[in-house]
Amino acid sequence: MGYTNLHDCVHDLEAAGQLRRIDTEIDPRLEMGVIQRRAFQAGGPALLFTRVKGSGFPMLGNLFGTLSRTRFLFRDTLKRVETLVQLKVDPAETLRRPWRLGSLPRALWHTRPMLRRSGPVLANTTTISNLPQLVSWPEDGGGYVTLPQVLSRSPRRADWQHTNLGMYRVQLSGNHFVPDTEVGLHYQIHRGIGPHHTEALEKGESLPVNIFVGGPPAMTLAAVMPLPENLPELFFAGLLGGHRPTLVQSEHHPLPLLAEADFCICGHVPPGALKPEGPFGDHLGYYSLTHDFPVLKVDAVYHRNGAIWPFTTVGRPPQEDTVFGTFIHELTEPLVGSVFQGVHEVHAVDAAGVHPLLLAIGSERYVPFASERQPQELLTNALSLLGSTQTSLSKYLFIGAREDDSRLSTKDIPAFFRHILGRVDWRRDLHLITRTTMDTLDYSGISLNQGSKGIIAAAGPDTNRLDSELPTDVSLPEGFSAPRCFAPGIAVLSAPRHTLPRDTQDPALDQLCRHLEESPADWSGFQLVVVVDASEEAANSWDDFLWQTFTRSDPATDSYGLGAFVQSKHWGCTGALVIDARLKSYHAPPLEPDPEVEKRVDELAAPGGPLHGLF
């Protein structure tokens, strides 16, 4: 019936042959991150590091490293979660077959937390500097908590129904944080802690915050679950975990503590308390840079007996957080149509960093009698997707109509692009939303948290020619080179290094478009031309193409076109859309490993070494 704590989970995985102990001393600065990422890439087991340099606490990595292991962790409760989802999607069907409800009433009882006067987490106290200081990438600003469960509560409604449990990165050391007294709390836009912090600031009060590390695995999944603002993550944690979450109310802290957590950092965010946080090697595959974020003043640090410190590292996808996303998508996919009316399927593309690229299939039924089908209902679908939940952070949204091809799937990315490019009319089908909010971690926009969004909605017959070979007699302006046909209708070419300031279009790209327009070569079989730093790298695979194209471009700033025009404030083009996907002068640098650390890990993995056979 699920795990009540992390200790039981570790023993169960070890008994099942899904965990490996590493008893050699490993440095949490860089070494451990390299080992965890390699184990993930190899589909390896969970890793328990029993000797951690600089800390007396063991560390657990790669816990959610495979989808099969993640399903194994929640094998006792998944059916109930699926039944509850089905009840939401189709109540009538479920009630016609009441035997399918099974033990659902008991499962719903598990969603309600229970409050105790004491719990294992209160057994010991320690300091921030005694905690493991994980540094994942060479330029990271200090040690980080990478699987935190950050609990906050509405200052106006002090009950568990108005709590938020989120996974916001926490910087334990480095920069100007006072050792053992302050930690950095980095939360991005569209996060549940934001309204709570707003309420505290309006009242001129500090915001109490508890940071849990470890505990039942269901709490970790709940912290990343994209739930509506009025549905507390503790509800989902109980449902997925198969047990009522147990909270401890301490007389010393206004917020309750998770009784079965391995660690808890209790603190408060005073009004106006900001300090530089970062850099941090993040899940887009680049560093997020140093910016001012709230500071948590530490009141106490607790840990249970035998506490284990779970961690992950992120970087260019796929990484362990990819499994989080896939598992959550499996759970929530049936709800898509009920949350977004008319939308049948969505796919936040992990290879492109999740938020930069969303693919969707919607309906096009508004004018079924029209002689020419064009996107209409699809635009309603698209605006709905960009208007709520985590899909609102999407930067590029490609959406096609199910009525055009009942077999269309967003999971088959090459086929989906062929479908869209075969139908798109760039004179009308690209819709830009400028100077709007965007993902905090995406540096392609015009400033932090600000950039643009692009909707590409295509419906109607498959009329565009998509060539699979470059036109003959290709010529390019000076500095542009190495054109390649990446996929039907998609060309990639190299361009000079970008040197211009932010929020500026490049005249060299306008020159390229004019050159291609006037060229005798026939480019009409290409609907998309992507300009990159090195076409050979970008055209190496779909993963490389998607990552470079959509993490390195802003839809408004970096869109150009053959036959570009503006009519009644609508931008379009008569020929191919050209996207500038070079690394810009203002972009954050991509993540690069430390060669010396990689070499040390190679030695540990050599025959006879403690990591031999792991990857």
What angle (nearest 5°) sits at the alpha carbon of residue 599, between those of residues 595 and 603?
Answer: 170
Domain region containing 287: 6-73+110-311
Assess contact for 94 and 231: CB atoms under 8 A: no
Residue 109 has what pLDDT?
Answer: 65
| Distance of alpha carbon 44 from alpha carbon 441, whole angstroms | 29
Neighbours of 320 (CB within 10 A): 25
Residue 159 has what pLDDT?
Answer: 77
Assess contact for 410 and 360: CB atoms under 8 A: yes
Over residues 348-356, mean pLDDT:
96
Residue 106 has what pLDDT?
Answer: 63
Over residues 294-315, mean pLDDT:
98
Over residues 585-599, mean pLDDT:
97
> Per the domain annotation, does 95 fall within a domain?
no
| Distance of alpha carbon 382 from alpha carbon 364, whole angstroms | 12
Residue 185 has what pLDDT?
Answer: 97
Do residues 303 and 349 both lie within one domain? no
| Sheet with 59-61: strands ordered across | 19-22, 46-49, 59-61, 309-311
Do residues 340 and 427 both lie within one domain? yes
- When pLDDT is cut at 50, 70 and 90, the band that residue 250 belongs to is confident
Residue 389 has what pLDDT?
Answer: 82
| Distance of alpha carbon 80 from alpha carbon 84, whole angstroms | 6
- When pLDDT is cut at 50, 70 and 90, the band that residue 81 belongs to is confident
Do residues 383 and 245 both lie within one domain? no
Residue 117 has what pLDDT?
Answer: 87
Do residues 376 and 452 both lie within one domain? yes
Neighbours of 230 (CB within 10 A): 7
> Per the domain annotation, does 257 fall within a domain?
yes
- State the DSSP string of 166-213: E--EEE-SSTTPPTTTEEEEE--SS-THHHHHHHHHHHT--EEEEEEE
CA-based nearest residue to 585, from 481, 500, 476, 503 = 500
Token pair 């989970």 is found at: 9
- When pLDDT is cut at 50, 70 and 90, the band that residue 87 belongs to is low
Residue 565, classed as helix, strand or coil, is strand
CA-based nearest residue to 362, from 263, 446, 459 = 459
> Per the domain annotation, does 123 fall within a domain?
yes
Residue 47, phi then psi, degrees to nearest 5: -125, 125
Which two structure tokens, joined as six digits, stand for 335?
């709800």
CA-based nearest residue to 8, from 308, 212, 223 = 308
Looking at residue 350, the DSSP 8-state letter turns out to be G
Assess contact for 103 and 80: CB atoms under 8 A: yes
Residue 292 has what pLDDT?
Answer: 96
- When pLDDT is cut at 50, 70 and 90, the band that residue 43 belongs to is very high
The pLDDT mean for the chain works out to 93
Assess contact for 17 and 231: CB atoms under 8 A: no
| Distance of alpha carbon 170 from alpha carbon 149, whole angstroms | 10
Count of domains observed in the chain:
2
CA-based nearest residue to 487, from 419, 564, 425 = 419
Q: Chain centroid to CA 588: how far?
A: 17
Over residues 557-581, mean pLDDT:
98
Which two structure tokens, joined as six digits, stand for 591?
């993540």
| Distance of alpha carbon 370 from alpha carbon 7, whole angstroms | 63
CA-based nearest residue to 207, from 167, 150, 153 = 153
pLDDT exceeds cutoff 70 at 88: no
Of 432, 458, 484, the domain-final residue: 458
pLDDT digits (tens, 9 = 90+) for 45-56: 999 999 999 999
Residue 335 has what pLDDT?
Answer: 81
**Residue 566: enclosing H or E segment and its boundaries?**
strand 564-567
pLDDT digits (tens, 9 = 90+) for 203-226: 999 999 999 999 999 999 999 988
Torsion of Cα atoms, 350 then 352 then 356 then 361, to 10° = -60
Torsion of Cα atoms, 193 then 195 then 198 then 199, to 10° = -110
> Per the domain annotation, does 415 fall within a domain?
yes
- When pLDDT is cut at 50, 70 and 90, the band that residue 588 belongs to is very high
* Buried-state track 19-29, b at ≥16 Cβ within 10 A, e below 16: bbebeeebbbb
Burial of 453 (0-12, 13-18, 19+ CB in 10 A): buried
Token pair 């802290």 is found at: 253
When mean pLDDT is compared across 359-363, 369-373, 578-582, the lowest value belongs to 369-373
pLDDT exceeds cutoff 80 at 94: no
CATH number for 430:
3.40.1670.10
Q: Cβ contacts of residue 107 below 8 Å, gap of 6+?
A: 77, 80, 84, 239, 242
What residues form DSSP beta bridges with 257?
248
Do residues 297 and 339 both lie within one domain? no
> Per the domain annotation, does 293 fall within a domain?
yes
Residue 360 has what pLDDT?
Answer: 98
| Distance of alpha carbon 223 from alpha carbon 150, whole angstroms | 8
Of 291, 311, 331, the domain-final residue: 311
Do residues 297 and 430 both lie within one domain? no
Of 282, 311, 340, the domain-final residue: 311
Do residues 225 and 294 both lie within one domain? yes
Do residues 37 and 126 both lie within one domain? yes
pLDDT digits (tens, 9 = 90+) for 112-147: 888 898 999 999 999 999 999 999 999 999 999 999
Residue 368 has what pLDDT?
Answer: 83
Residue 327 has what pLDDT?
Answer: 93
What residues form DSSP beta bridges with 561?
577
Do residues 236 and 341 both lie within one domain? no
pLDDT exceeds cutoff 70 at 249: yes
Do residues 176 and 218 both lie within one domain? yes
pLDDT exceeds cutoff 80 at 574: yes
| Distance of alpha carbon 300 from alpha carbon 58, whole angstroms | 21
Residue 96 has what pLDDT?
Answer: 53
> Per the domain annotation, does 1 fall within a domain?
no
- When pLDDT is cut at 50, 70 and 90, the band that residue 104 belongs to is low
Residue 1 has what pLDDT?
Answer: 64
pLDDT digits (tens, 9 = 90+) for 467-521: 999 998 999 999 999 999 999 999 999 999 999 999 999 999 999 999 999 999 9
Do residues 324 and 305 both lie within one domain? no
What's 391-439 look like in SS3? HHHCCEEEEEEHHHCCCCCCCCHHHHHHHHHHHCCCCCCEEEEEEEECC
Do residues 190 and 154 both lie within one domain? yes
Share above pLDDT 70 across residues of the chain, in percent, rounded to a whole number: 95
pLDDT digits (tens, 9 = 90+) for 145-182: 999 999 999 998 877 778 999 999 999 999 999 999 99
Which two structure tokens, joined as six digits, stand for 204?
């001129």
More confident of the two residues 214 and 190: 214
What's 54-77 look like in SS3? CECCCEEECCCCCHHHHHHHCCCC
| Distance of alpha carbon 535 from alpha carbon 531, whole angstroms | 8
Residue 100 has what pLDDT?
Answer: 53
Over residues 285-290, mean pLDDT:
97
> Per the domain annotation, does 541 fall within a domain?
no
> Per the domain annotation, does 383 fall within a domain?
yes
Distances (CA, A) of 13 to 7, 16, 49, 63, 131: 10, 5, 14, 9, 24
Residue 211 has what pLDDT?
Answer: 98
pLDDT digits (tens, 9 = 90+) for 405-447: 999 999 999 999 999 999 999 999 999 999 999 998 999 999 9
Over residues 185-205, mean pLDDT:
91
